[in-house]
Structure 1
Amino acid sequence: MDYHHFKISKVNLLFLLLKLTVFLGVIFIFAKLRYEAQQLALMPNQLLDLVFISCCLALGWMYRVNLDDVDLSANDQKIKIKVEYNLYGFVFVRLLSNKGKMASVRLWNPTNYKYALAEGLTAECVFKSDSQLPKGGCRLINS
């Protein structure tokens, strides 16, 4: 069946750059707060470093790059695939159908992902290139 590439539209790219600017600004604010707390000697330095690092790690987990949705359809069934990446290499894949939510998975450094649908169809997402498909996209295959 048809192969649909993952892409980022110009509008999403602008929001992504805005989100990145806010993300970096928050990191600098955390660093400034850490410096001020160190100057006031509110906490021991090791505890202060631990709080700063854990806040930055949590913020990095929440920062996600959203790709445009991929819409697939077959046999009167419409499937929307949403893909997000975070800073640590995790890929979040959500499959939604016109009947409701089908699957939501978190993958670490995946090459591909397959989800069996009803009526003998499988949704396949490719994240790294192989011998048959180019990098980055989804398609429906008969299983």
Structure 2
Amino acid sequence: MANNDFNCSFSATITAGEAISKINKVPEWWGVTFTGNAEKQDDQFVIKMGEEAFFNCTVTELVPNKKVVWLITDCYMPWYTDKKEWANTKLIFDVNENNGVTELHFTHKGLTPDVECYKDCEPGWTHWIKTSLESYFTTGKGVFRKPTK
């Protein structure tokens, strides 16, 4: 069976350790209001978008120089019929360093073309990962834009 979860990748001249550290500095690359911590296993944080939308996350896996996984434990997305559509989905950041170049592979496990928000979330994630996070890896600054919704 094919894996339909949203995913995208890019490579940058950065160590795997630097990549993990930068991923964990969420407000630097994702234009959101952020409270809590995302630096260690079991850390919890909240991402807010606008007045109502929120995503509660827990760092469920942190493998130094290799992988970070965030579980969205609760959310509220007022724009959609299923306002909890991202609840119990996972944001997975896999990194692989080779000769000073690190490839980041991002997967939003549970975000598939058959869910309502996919049409907005696919271009949103593509921007936040392939434009903003990549820029943060390479220049030290994310590229912010207004959320899709």
- Larger helix proportion of the pair: 1
Pair in the same fold by TM > 0.5:
no
- If asked which structure has higher relative contact order (CA below 8 Å, sep 6+), I would say 2
Q: TM-score, normalised by structure 2?
A: 0.35
Q: TM-score, normalised by structure 1?
A: 0.36
